[in-house]
Amino acid sequence: MKEHHLQLNLAKTELLVLPATPTLQHDFTIQLGSSTITPSTSVRNLGVIFDDQLTFKDHIAKTARSCRFALHNTRKIRPFLTEHAAQLLVQALVISRLDYCNALLAGLPSNTVKPLQMIQNAAARLVFNEPKRAHVTPLFISLHWLPVAARIKFKTLMLAYRTTTGSAPAYMHSLLTNYIPSRNLRSASERRLVVTSQRGSKSLSRTFSFTIPGWWNDLPTPIRSAGSLSIFKQQLKTHLFRRHSTSSYT
């Protein structure tokens, strides 16, 4: 902290042990100044709640709760808003919360992120003032919204593109490795990534290194070979939107 000219706030300092296993007892403490820090099952970092199993269930529950509160208040004033104004308000108060640090949710089971999808469904219905059981797929198409799972994939693939082109932060290059065949093959020019094994201890870096390369390699070659980030972003969203526009998210 001193090397980076930062002040350590002992009152807000928390300790998380990863990975948490039955053989690892959390019966130790760390002394920082006059404070004694004991391990917790979940901690907060930059607004994201990390748990010792990296399920992010606490973070998802907190995000869904804050979004429901925003939707509840917006619903009260919905009769006085135009459709466009309602869309802007929902995107600012709800969709931005769903997108915040959502790359951390990559690789989680669909049932884990389902509460966030339910929030997005409710947000789309609120924009168009539709009843609770209205089918949301046509609403997503009108709003040009990607569903939650696709938004997570979009964010992580943007990071993958920046890594392959060398514009990502330095630490990202240790998580993703460009595929270089041992012989002169056609795949050498397709900008693929190495898919690592997920066996072993569970960690964010291992999950990221396993999940993202698979998603990246599944993209069409013209998208992976886009000449700039803006072109890649446009082509990727179009690709994901076409793939998910026929799915049901009710």
Model pLDDT for residues 83-93, shown as the tens digit of each residue: 999 999 999 99
State the burial class of residue 114 (Cβ atoms within 10 Å of its Cβ: 0-12, 13-18, 19+). middle
pLDDT per residue as tens digits for the range 89-116: 999 999 999 999 999 999 898 999 999 9
Average pLDDT over residues 36-43: 83
CA distance 115 to 40: 25
User: Number of folded domains in the chain?
Assistant: 3
Residue 94 has a pLDDT of 97
Q: Token pair 């890594």 is at which residue?
A: 163
| Per-residue pLDDT at 22 exceeds 70 | no
| Cβ–Cβ under 8 Å, residues 62 and 44 | no
Residue 112 has a pLDDT of 93
- Does 46 map to a domain? no
CA distance 167 to 162: 5
> What is the average pLDDT score of the chain?
86
Residue 29, classed as helix, strand or coil, is: coil
| Cβ–Cβ under 8 Å, residues 189 and 140 | no
Same domain, 212 and 158: yes
- Does 47 map to a domain? no
200 phi-psi bin (left φ>0, alpha ψ -120 to 50, beta other):
left
More confident position, 25 or 131: 131
Same domain, 225 and 174: yes
pLDDT > 90: what percent of the chain? 49
Helix (H) or strand (E) holding 137: helix 137-143
Give the residue among 41, 30, 33 at the shortest CA–CA distance from 10.
Answer: 33
| Per-residue pLDDT at 205 exceeds 80 | no
CA distance 145 to 245: 9
Same domain, 97 and 113: yes
Same domain, 217 and 167: yes
CA distance 91 to 126: 11
- Locate 189 and state its tokens: 């020019």
Same domain, 140 and 156: no
